[in-house]
Amino acid sequence: MDISTLIDSLHPLEIKVLTTLGLRQSGTALGSEQLAGAAELEASQLSMAVEWLLAKSLITVQTETVTPIVSLTKIGEEYYQTASPIERVLTAAREATGTGKRLTIPDLQSQGGLDPSDVSKAVGRLKKEGVVLIIQGGCIETTGRPSPTVEALRTLLGDMHDSPKELKNFTEAHRQIIEDFAVKRGNAKEPFRVDERVARSFILSPDGAGAAAQLLTQGVAEEVSQLTPDLLKDGSWRQTRLRKYTISLRPPRIGTGKKHPYREFLDTVKTKLVSMGFQEMRGALVETEFWDMDALFMPQFHPARDIHDVYFVKEPSHTTAVDEPFLSRVAKVHENGAETGSTGWGYSFDVHRAKRLVLRSQGTAVSARTLAASPQIPGKYFSIARCFRYDQVDATHATDFFQVEGIVLGEDINFRTLLGLLNLFAREVAQAKEVKFLPAYFPFTEPSVEMHVRHPRLGWMELGGAGLFRSEVTLPLGVTVPVIAWGLGLDRMAMVALGIHDIRELFTDNLELIRTTRGLF
């Protein structure tokens, strides 16, 4: 490997170690601690760098010394706080002897805080030292002699409580105690641990020396992870080593600004309709029964006007007035057809009922209002209207939902142009090439059509309903040309596009789902 490629591949930590060694007189070895100090590295950083450099043969180990170090175990720390078991046994024995109380090994073993095996070991050791005697009946009695073990343990626990110490700094006697009370294989419950610390010193290999020399002559480029404005301003980026990233990792997740997938779907429909020459209509969430139903020639006794189909408004329950001349005209048409050429429904129209306020139950209400407001002729209109139905909410019924509806007015409107328009919807909105027209029934259109299309992914599905508005609808509202009324049922298409099976999920409160739904239409 060529030396500059080699240098490029070096991690900043490696560079620090190499240059630190390179600054010493050639052949000078440095121990780990010195090296860490000189290179200003944490012990863990140094050990990483050293391992990498050894693996690349840029440094070699000069010396390796093994130093035994003694430290306290967790047990040792406990003994430091509460005194060692042997000391506690001796104290109890002295107290018993002083007061003349009987004290046996089982007595001690049943005392709180002492492990039975610790007690036996302690008594054994004290007896060997001649500090205690076992007299008749197994009673323990002190002799008054001091215990070297207890004294030594106390000193050692105190010494090592602060920091580990090298074993060689202790006296021979203490070293023996440490040996006796150190964690060994098969006996983990001891206060001391003796570890071997390996101290190594390192020296540059010939390759390493070359690299170090090169690095030193280049000037030690400062390593940074971030290109900063300061680096750019003073040009110091030229001397700066920008760390190379591992780019194969997954990035952290960020929050996004995004449209709701269902709204996005409706937006595409909206755009399609505008591109086909449709003008948007708006309407109110609360409507009179007049515009919601009467104007659409739905008789006041129609089953769909029942209390179980429409939501009625509580307060105010009625509007103050419905616009004339529409109210009188529509009332007459319901009663006897008036001048529309119709027989009418032949019942007596209830004007009060017409004023009843409801939550808009069909988007056609918006079309009715448009018809009464001098629409353009020829004209095409659409609305995406929120509607409300008195339905039990389940996977296929929502209590409020969007209806995509509209009208087309013109001298050239007839049954065949109605079918032509539906063909256009099938192609533009559902990308369908096959269409089937079925007779249908709507109270306000005649003839009425239901359109079934073959969707490229969904197969045959009902896309919508349409028809020519009855004269009973158009004439009282002042429209004399034929009018197509159409409606598209798009929720199923939206649900498939969004990968959901429950209509309620269109309005889900699950933010994670909203955020992760792609919405490809």
Partner 1 sequence: MPTITIFKDDLESLLTGEGGVVRGIPMAQLEEWLMLVKGELKGHNPETGELRIELQDSNRPDLWCCEGIARQIRIKQQGRLKPYAFFAETPTSPHHLIVKPGMEQVRPYVAACTAKGYRVTEKGLAQLIQTQEKLADIFGRKRKTVSIGIYQLRNITFPVTYELVKPDDVRFTPLGMETAMTLSEILMVHPKGLEYGPILAVQSLLPILRDAKAQPLSFPPIINSREIGEVRVGDDELFVEVTGTDLRMVILSLNIFAANLADRGATIEPVEVRYPTRTVLGKRVKTPQDLGKPVTIRMKAIEQALGQELGEAMVKQALEAYGYNVSAEKGSVKAKLPPYRHDLMHTMDVVEDVAMSRGYAEFTPVMPAQFTVGGLSAIEQLSDRSRELMVGLGFQEIISNILGSPEQYCRGMRLEGTEWGRTVDVDNVMSLSFSCLRQWMLPSLLRIEAASSRAFYPHRLFEAGDVAIPDGTHELGSRTETVIGALIAHATTHFSEIHSCLDVLCYYLGKDYSLEPLQHPSFLEGRAGRILVSGKPVGVIGEVHPEVLERWQISMPVVAFEVNLSQLADLG
Choice between 198 and 377, CB closer to partner 1: 377
Choice between 66 and 254, CB closer to partner 1: 254
As measured in angstroms, the least distance from the Cβ of 512 to partner 1 is 5
As measured in angstroms, the least distance from the Cβ of 308 to partner 1 is 8
Q: Helix 172-180 vs helix 148-162: angle between axes, to the nearest 10 degrees?
A: 90
**For residues 236 and 108, is the Cβ–Cβ distance under 8 A?**
no
As measured in angstroms, the least distance from the Cβ of 116 to partner 1 is 51
Choice between 85 and 519, CB closer to partner 1: 519
As measured in angstroms, the least distance from the Cβ of 225 to partner 1 is 25
CA distances from 497 to 75, 490, 520 (A): 65, 11, 6
Choice between 143 and 414, CB closer to partner 1: 414
Measured in degrees and rounded to the nearest 5, phi and psi for residue 429 equal -90, -40
CA angle 510, 514, 515 (to 5 degrees): 115
As measured in angstroms, the least distance from the Cβ of 307 to partner 1 is 5
Q: H-helix or E-strand containing 242?
A: strand 240-242
As measured in angstroms, the least distance from the Cβ of 445 to partner 1 is 9
Cβ-Cβ contacts under 8 Å for 86 (sequence gap 6 or more):
118, 121, 122, 125, 126, 147, 149, 150, 153
Whose tokens are 């005697």? That residue is 133
Q: What are the structure tokens assigned to 250, written together? A: 């997954």
Q: Residue 380 burial by CB count (10 A; 0-12/13-18/19+): exposed, middle or buried?
A: buried
Choice between 223 and 400, CB closer to partner 1: 400
As measured in angstroms, the least distance from the Cβ of 468 to partner 1 is 7
Rounded distance between C-alpha atoms, residue 39 and residue 54, angstroms: 17
**For residues 429 and 268, is the Cβ–Cβ distance under 8 A?**
no
As measured in angstroms, the least distance from the Cβ of 419 to partner 1 is 4
**For residues 486 and 249, is the Cβ–Cβ distance under 8 A?**
no
Whose tokens are 């001397």? That residue is 239
Q: Give me the sign of the Cα torsion angle 88, 94, 98, 104.
A: positive
Choice between 263 and 501, CB closer to partner 1: 263
As measured in angstroms, the least distance from the Cβ of 271 to partner 1 is 9
Choice between 67 and 317, CB closer to partner 1: 317
Q: What are the structure tokens assigned to 18, written together? A: 């190499």
Rounded distance between C-alpha atoms, residue 421 and residue 434, angstroms: 14
Choice between 177 and 407, CB closer to partner 1: 407
DSSP character at residue 104? B
Give the residue among 51, 67, 66, 69 at the shortest CA–CA distance from 202: 51
Choice between 134 and 285, CB closer to partner 1: 285
- Which amino acid does the sequence have at 340? T
DSSP character at residue 442? B
Choice between 94 and 389, CB closer to partner 1: 389
As measured in angstroms, the least distance from the Cβ of 418 to partner 1 is 8
